[in-house]
Amino acid sequence: MLHLIFQSPLEVAVLGRISAGDDVVFLESAVLGLLQMGNLAGVLTDLTARCRLYVLSDAINARGILADELVAGMELIDYAGLVALTVKNPAIQSWS
């Protein structure tokens, strides 16, 4: 399943609904919760062990966030990468 997370602030309850093997893309203001020094850094690090976490590069660029400020294990993608993930995953859940 592909999870598209737009919500800010990120909620632990939403992150808890992500299953092993899922793909997760953080978009828009949701990227603000992905910082290494953020409250959810531990939860996000645990998620990287069981699923793939992606960040839309335009979203972090627009907010002045550098890739090395993100929790380790986040993969940067562009819009073409986002489209590829939507094709790969037949089920998509949006969280806003």
Query: What per-residue confidence (pLDDT) applies to 80?
Result: 98
Tokens of 67: 């890739």
Burial letters for 46-65: b for 16+ Cβ neighbours within 10 Å, e otherwise? Answer: ebeeeebbbbbbbbbeeeeb
Q: Which pLDDT tens digit goes with each residue over 44-88? A: 999 999 999 999 999 999 999 999 999 999 999 999 999 999 999
Domain count, the chain: 1
- Domain range spanning residue 79? 2-95
Task: Give the span between the Cα atoms of 60 and 31, in whole angstroms.
Answer: 6
Partners of residue 26 on adjacent β-strands: 5, 55
CATH number reported for the structural domain that contains residue 51 in this entry: 3.40.1260.10
Q: Which pLDDT tens digit goes with each residue over 10-29? A: 888 899 999 999 999 999 99
Instruction: Tell me if residue 26 falls in helix, strand or coil.
Output: strand
End-to-end alpha carbon distance in the chain:
17
